Structure formats: structure tokens, C-alpha cells
Amino acid sequence: MEVRDIDDTAPVITLTGDDNITHEAGKLYTDAGATWNDSVDGNGIADANGTVDYEVPGTYHITYTYTDNSGNFAHKVIRTIHVVDSSSPIITLIGDANITISTGMEFIDPGAVWTDFVDGEGQAEISGHVDQHTPEIYRIEYNYKDSSGNNAQPVVRTVHVIQENRAPESITLSQTFIAENLPKRTLVGYFDAFDPDDNQTLTYRLLSSGPQTDNGTAEHNSSQLTDLPFILEENGTLFTTRILDYESDPQFFELQVLVEDQKGASLTQFFVVELINVIEDKDGDGTEDAYDEDRGGDGISNSNEIIAGTDPDNPYSRTNKPIVNTLDGQIDANGSIYLSGNVLSNGLGKIDDFGFVISSSPSLNRSESTVYWVRGVGAPNRFTLKVTESPFLNAMYFRSWARNSAGYGIGQVKKVIIPEPPQFWWGDITEEPGGWKSSPWFGTFIYYQQGWLFHTQLGWLYASSNNEISVWLWKEGHGWLWTKEDVWPYLYKNDSASWIYFTTSQNGSPVFYDYLTSSYRGLE
């Protein structure tokens, strides 16, 4: 008899996770699945049947089944998924949240859009109104409710309608005339502008300059002035920039004035300022000064007093010879003499020339002294003269002088002692053409400034001497060499503390004989 073991036990299915799930719409749904377990076949993943559309709210079912190898059916298990829409839509403004426009400017609302996981996107609902003609702050609100009844968080745009800036409408000047002969920076008047907008800051400036004729009755010196003698401050205050003269300035000045508010709106307006004549007669002779040829009444014409440098308006103005001061002379190391002087008083006359008198003695009598009159350079308050070399031995006397229409004024006499010319280390020499010097012991050379010299045999040398009988010579490649007239052609070499002897080789080339090394060495 055959005994067979029969598998008649059904597998068991177990859910992974809950059997009832609530899932937010719009988010991807991933099912956790289920497993089966069988006493014979073991275990594994159960078969799942059903779908979940996570973008569409609703209730969905997934059924899990399994049949083992013996044909036993597991009891099916069902999971229920509730796809729900509980998220609010999101509203996003198009453009700025705060907009400012001027009155009269058309306002076009850029709107707002909503986005939603389920419904997608679209234009938000608008509530609110903007009156573009009335200055005020307006609020526009944007809303949306999705198909599941979820309300979006409202979004607000603020629109500020401001009054359109208007230009100033008129300008007035408090006074339109000014008398002649008043001092510089005399107040002419105040400009004041009317601006229809409140709380405006106004600034003023002149745009043009130009004299005017006297309203067509006659030409009145209108071509003698090219710039206005006025300055206009930003606050609208008008001043003169100089003294005005009725006889030489135009009688009428045209001003083009611009006023501007802080937002750039402006107005330009023209004004005419009249120059008022003041009768002037300083000497009381009945002839107005502008036409009086002798304003001072002293019998000397204005033109002659101007030439003389006196005041044509002052009857007591007379020209005297100038008073001149002679300053001490200075002499430099090269023997150049520097003279200076100054005019202490011009004698109420114009100084037309100045300079120095140079003489060989204190006397200016030409029978007793050699005298030179020389013009200076500079100005009457300080003038100078450089005498490169004294024309006299031992001493040179000098005085400063100045001249006006009354004659010459001469300062006190001064003198400079002329030092003996310095002796140079090379001693007596013969000057040759081209600046060359010939020394009976040192040879032929040309001396340049600052110690440099060129020797016909030794080449370039730099000389440094603090006395009149010896010299240190620097030669490239040899350093410092010391010598003097009764030592030459022997030279003391500083860097080796030894003596060298200057001579020539058999072919006539200049060389040094070095006693330290007992050898000859070329100059290079």
C-alpha cells in the first residue's frame, strides 16, 4: 500500500504596511506590496493587481493573490488607497509687488498666476481697483480656490498713484534796477517762482549774458560788455560782481533765468535790469566827472596825472622822486655777485624803470670813479641784478635806483669785497683753444663741472681736492690715486696702500708700473 503526503494547505499573504492608506494627490505613489508564506513552497512576493492614479483624487484598490505549486489558492488581501487633494494652490505675482505711477499714467495690471498639484496652473482671480487720476495707495488682491476646495493664500500688490510733477509756472524779481558806483556784491533783488506742487525745492541760475540797448531810444555802449556783472545764487538772490558805471556800462542788462524743481521740471524767463545814473562832480565845477577833463580840479589834466601815476581825482596828489632801499650784496663761490633792492615809496608816481649804479669808489663823480648804470629785473617791490664778474678789483660799490615822472631816486651805497681768485691743485697752466689746459707737470687736459676732467693720456678722471697743492684722482679700474706737482709721475694707490709710476711703454702707450707687484699694467 502506497502512502502519499498531500499538500492541501493554502499559502498566507501578509501586507507590507497598512491596508488603508491616505495619499496626497500630486505626489508619486509607490506601493509597499505584500508577501506570501507557504509550508511547502517557502515565501515570496505576492501578485499585485490594480493601479493608483496619484494625480486624480479618488479611492483605489490593489488586490494581492498567490497560488502555490500544489494549486492551493491563498486568501486574497486588498489594500485601499485614498488619493486626496488637501494642498492649497500657490499664487505668484507677475512683476513687482509695489508699483508707483504718476497721475494720468495708464495702469495695466500684469496679474498673477496660480499653480496646483492637481489642477495645474492658470490666472489668479483679481479684486481691487486703481484710479489713475486720483493720488492714493491702492491694493489689488489675487485669489484662487482649486477644484478640491482648497483656497490659496491671497497675494497683494500695492499701487501708489502720485501727483505728476509740474514745472514752475512763473518767476518774479523783487527789484529790476541798480544804481551805479555801489560796491561789489551789492544786492540787486530776489527771484521768486510759483510752483503748483507743494513742498518743492527750487533752484535758480543764469543761462545767458548780454547787454541791451536803452529800449530803442539810443545805442548806449551796448558793445563794451560781453559778460553780465551779476551772480545768481541757487536760492534766487541776485548780486553784482563789480562796481557798475553808468558812463561805461550798458544802461540795460537782459537776464535769462532758469528755475528748476528737485525733479528736473523747469521754467525759463527773461528779465531786464536797469542801471541808474548817479550825478558825480568831485570838484564841484558843474561838469559831471564822466565828462570833466580835470576831475581833481588841481589844474592838471586826468590824462597827465595817469601818465605820472598820480590820482586824477585827488587835488593833493603830487609826484615826488621815489625812495629806494639798497640791500646787501651776496657773492657766491664762482665769484658772481647778486644785488637786490626795492622801492620803499613810489612818490605817488608810477615807477617806470629801476636798477643799480655800480662804481669803483663811493663817489658817483665820473672824474673820480668808474660808474655803470644797469637796469635790474623783477618789480619795484623787489628787483635784482646778477654781476657774473666784478669789473673792479678788491671792491665794488653799488646803489639801487628807481625812476618816476619826478626823476630818479637813489638808495644808500653798499659794497662787496672781491676775494682773490682761488688757486687750483694743478697750479700754473696755459689756456689752450677749446677749453683745454696745459700743465707743465700734469700734461694736457680739459676740466668739466663737478670735478670731472679728460686727460690726453690718462683718459677720464674724477678729481677731488680740498687744498691747493695735492689732489685725489679716481680712475676706473684703479680706484683712488693721490699725487701733487713735486711727486708726479708717482701716484699713491689707495686700495693697495702702495705706489705706482706713470710712464709709457716701448710703443708709446701709457702704462702704470706697480711697485707692489713689480709689474706694468695698462690703464684699462
Reading across the β-sheet that carries 112-116, which strands appear in turn?
A: 90-93, 112-116, 120-123
What is 170-276's CATH number? 2.60.40.60
For residue range 412-445, list pLDDT tens digits in order.
999 999 887 667 888 889 999 999 999 999 999 9
pLDDT of 209: 53
Domain 12-84, what architecture? Sandwich (2.60)
For residue range 342-366, list pLDDT tens digits in order.
999 998 888 999 999 999 999 999 9
CB neighbours (10 Å) of residue 104? 10
Strand ranges, E, within 103-221: 112-116, 120-123, 125-127, 136-143, 155-162, 170-173, 177-179, 187-194, 203-208, 211-212
Q: Is the pLDDT of residue 500 over 60?
A: yes
Lowest mean pLDDT among 3-12, 145-154, 299-308, 367-376: 299-308
Q: Is the pLDDT of residue 474 over 80?
A: yes
495 pLDDT band, cuts 50/70/90, is very high
Q: Is the pLDDT of residue 62 over 70?
A: yes
Q: Do domains 12-84 and 170-276 have the same CATH topology?
A: yes
Q: Is the pLDDT of residue 383 over 70?
A: yes
Please give the backbone phi and psi of residue 470, each rounded to the nearest 5 degrees, phi first. -140, 170
Name the average pLDDT for the chain: 88
pLDDT of 376: 95
pLDDT of 412: 96
Mean pLDDT of the 335-341 span: 94
Q: Is the pLDDT of residue 390 over 50?
A: yes
How far is residue 125's CA from residue 49's CA, in Å, rounded to a whole number? 43
Q: Is the pLDDT of residue 219 over 90?
A: no
451 pLDDT band, cuts 50/70/90, is confident
Query: What is 371-427 written as a DSSP string?
Result: EEEEE-EEETTEEEEEESS-SSSSEEEEEEEEEETTEEEE---EEEE-PPPPPPTT-
pLDDT of 73: 93
- How close are the terminal C-alpha atoms of the chain, in Å? 137
pLDDT of 217: 38
Query: What is 277-314 written as a DSSP string?
Result: P----TT-SSS-GGG-S-TT-SSS-HHHHHHHT--TT-
Mean pLDDT of the 18-32 span: 91
Cα angle 511, 513, 516 (rounded to 5 degrees) comes to 145
Q: Is the pLDDT of residue 313 over 90?
A: no
pLDDT of 147: 87
CATH 2.60.40.10: does it fit domain 90-162?
Answer: yes
pLDDT of 509: 86
Amino acid at 364: L
Domain ranges of the chain: 12-84, 90-162, 170-276, 323-417, 430-522
**418: its cell numbers:** 672781491
Please give the backbone phi and psi of residue 425, each rounded to the nearest 5 degrees, phi first. -60, -20
Q: Is the pLDDT of residue 232 over 50?
A: yes
Q: Is the pLDDT of residue 17 over 70?
A: yes
Domain 323-417, what architecture? Sandwich (2.60)
**367: its cell numbers:** 672824474
Lowest mean pLDDT among 35-49, 330-344, 418-432: 418-432
Mean pLDDT of the 218-230 span: 54
